[in-house]
Structure 1
Amino acid sequence: MEFQDILYEKYNDRARITINRPDCMNMFTNRTLHEMITALQSAWTDKEVGAVILTGAGTRAFTIGGTPAETDADALPIEKLPMPSLFTQLLHTIRTIPKPVIAAVNGYAIGGGHVIQVVCDLTIASSSAKFGQVGPKVGTFDAGYGSAYLARIVGEKKAREFWYLCKKYTAEECLQMGLVNAVVEPDKLMEETDKWVDTIVKHSPTALAALKASFNADSASIWGIQSMAGVALGMYFGTDEAKECGKAFAEKRDADVARFR
C-alpha cells in the first residue's frame, strides 16, 4: 500500500512508522489512523520485523490528537468509520501486535496523541516533549485506555489530575511518574530509541510475545470499556455541550458549561 499520511520504513530488524503531517503538528485524520493500522498489521506478520517504533515528523509534535476529516469518495470502507472507532482499532492493534512497540516522543503528545504513547510498550521522550490531555476543555474524552489504563501506570490520583485539570507535563515530570522510560536531548532521540531496539530485537521473539500478552492480561478488560467509550464518544460529539466546548476552545474563551450540569 502507498501511504499518504505516514512514512513506513524497515531497517535493522525493525519497522518505523512516522506520522508525516508536521504542518499541523501531526494531527491525525481517519486516513492517518487507517494507514497506521495497516502498517502495524504489515509489521505483525513480517518476519524481518522484531519491534516497531512510532514517532512523528519534525520536532514540534509526536501528535496532538485527531480531527475528523471528509473522506475521499474512493476511500476504503474502514476509512469511512467514525474516528472513535478507528482510533479504538489503532489502540487495540498496538496492544495486541506480538512485538514491542516503542514510542519516540519528539514534541507534544497531547489528547489522542498522548493516549497512543500511553498504550505503547515503552516510551523514549525528548527533553522538549510535553504530555497532557485536553478532552474536557474541547468537548471530547477517552474513557478507556486513555483513563483506565493511564491510572494503572501513574496511579488513580495522578490520572484524574491529567483529565480534570488538563495540564501539560514535561518529559522529566513524566519520567518521575513512570509514564516514560527515558528522557534524552532532542537530537539524540532516535539514536537512543534505536539503541533500546537494538537490544530488544536480539531477544527471543516468542518470549517477548508471551511476555507482552502476560503484561496485557491484567488490563485486558479495558478493551471492552474502550469499545463502549468509543460508542459514547461518537454520540457525545453531536451534543450541544461538546459543540460549545469545541467552539469556546477555538475562540480562546471559557466554555459556558454551567447550563449542562
Structure 2
Amino acid sequence: MEFQNLLIEDKNRIRYITINRESKLNALNRDTIAELHTAFANAFSNKAIGGIIITGAGQKAFVAGADIAEFADLDTESASRLAKENQAKVFDLVANGSKPVIAAINGYALGGGLELALAAHIRIASTTAKMGLPEVTLGLIPGYGGTQRLSKLVGSGKAFEMILTADMITADEAYLVGLVNYVVEPGEIIARAEALLNKMLQRAPLALAAAIAAINAAGAPDGFDIEIAEFGKCFGNKDTKEGITAFLEKRKPDFRGE
C-alpha cells in the first residue's frame, strides 16, 4: 500500500512509522487513522518485524491532536461510533499488539496525539516535548482511551488534574509522574528508542507477546488468571525449550519466534 500521510521504513526488524503531516502538526484525520491501522496491522502480522517505533515528522509535534474540523458535524450517535471505531482500529490495536511499540515523542503530544503515545508500550520524550489532554477546552473529553490509560500510568489524581485543567506538562514533569520512560535531547530520541527496542529484540518474540498481554491485564479482575495462562502457554513454544536449554548449557539462546 502507498501511504499519503505516513512514512514507513523497515530496517533491522524494526518498523519506523512517521506521521507525515508536518504542516498540520501531524494531526490525526480520518485518512491518517486508516493508514495507521494498516501500517500497524501489517507490522504485527509480519514475522520479519520485531517491534515498532512511531514518531511525528519535523521538530514541533509528535501529534498535536485530532483534526477538529472533522468533529464539526458529529452528533451523539456518530461521535460515539467514531470513538469506538477509531479506538478499535488504532489505539486498542497498538496497545494490545503482539510486538513492542515505542512512541518517540518529539514535540507536542496533545489530545489524540497523547492518546496514541499512551497506547504505545513505552514512551520516550525529547526535552522540548509537551503533553496534555486539552479536550475540555472544546467541551469534550478524551475519546480514544485517554481517561483510562492516563489514569493507569500516572494515577487518578494526576489524571484528574491534567484532564480537568487541560494544562500541558513538560517532558521532565511527564517523567516525574511516570508518563514517559526517558527524556533525551531531540537529536537522540530515535537512537534511544532503537537501543531499547534492539535489546527487546534479543528476547523470545512469543514471550514478549505473552508479557504484553499479561501486563495489559494488570488491575483487571482476571489479571492473575491471564498471567497464569500466558505463563503456561509459553511451555508449548519451541523458544521456551531453547531458552531453558541454552541457560543450562551456558550459551546464548537462538530464538526463532516458534
Pick the TM interval, shorter chain. Answer: 0.7 to 0.9
Contact 2:91 2:144 in 1 (8 A): no
Contact 1:30 1:68 in 2 (8 A): no
Q: Give the secondary structure class of the aligned counterpart of 1:59.
A: coil
> Match for 1:8: what amino acid?
I
**CA 1:211 to 1:189, structure 2 compared with 1: closer, same or farther past 3 Å?**
same
Match of 2:238 in 1: none
> Match for 1:17: what amino acid?
I
Match of 2:151 in 1: 151
Q: Does 1:88 align with 2:87?
A: yes
In structure 2, C-alpha distance between the alignment counterparts of 1:65 and 1:113, rounded to whole Å: 5
Q: Does 1:133 align with 2:133?
A: yes
Contact 2:133 2:163 in 1 (8 A): yes
Q: Give the secondary structure class of the aligned counterpart of 2:95.
A: helix
1:179-190 to structure 2, matched below 5 A, reads 179-190=179-190
> Match for 2:87: what amino acid?
T
Match of 1:18 in 2: 18
In structure 2, C-alpha distance between the alignment counterparts of 1:140 and 1:17, rounded to whole Å: 28
In structure 2, C-alpha distance between the alignment counterparts of 1:183 and 1:116, rounded to whole Å: 18
In structure 1, C-alpha distance between the alignment counterparts of 2:84 and 2:144, rounded to whole Å: 12
Q: In the TM superposition, what is the alpha-carbon distance from 1:87 to its structure 2 partner?
A: 2.5
Answer with 10-19 or 134-143: which moved more: 134-143
Answer with 191-200 or 105-114: which moved more: 191-200
State the aligned residue count.
211
Q: Give the secondary structure class of the aligned counterpart of 2:98.
A: coil
In structure 2, C-alpha distance between the alignment counterparts of 1:15 and 1:82, rounded to whole Å: 30
Match of 1:123 in 2: 123
Match of 2:35 in 1: 35
**CA 1:10 to 1:130, structure 2 compared with 1: closer, same or farther past 3 Å?**
same
Contact 1:30 1:86 in 2 (8 A): no
Match of 2:163 in 1: 163
Runs of 4+ in 1 over 6 A off after TM superposition: none
**CA 1:27 to 1:82, structure 2 compared with 1: closer, same or farther past 3 Å?**
farther
Q: What's the TM-score, normalizing by structure 2?
A: 0.78
1:1-261 to structure 2, matched below 5 A, reads 1-67=1-67, 83-89=82-88, 90-142=90-142, 145-218=145-218
Higher RCO (C-alpha 8 Å, min separation 6): 1
Q: What's the TM-score, normalizing by structure 1?
A: 0.77
Q: In the TM superposition, what is the alpha-carbon distance from 1:61 to its structure 2 partner?
A: 0.2
Deviations 1:75-126 (A, max 9, x none): xxxxxx9642443121110012100110000000001101111121000110
Q: Give the secondary structure class of the aligned counterpart of 1:215.
A: helix
Q: Give the secondary structure class of the aligned counterpart of 1:142.
A: coil
> Match for 1:88: what amino acid?
Q
Structure label with greater radius of gyration: 2
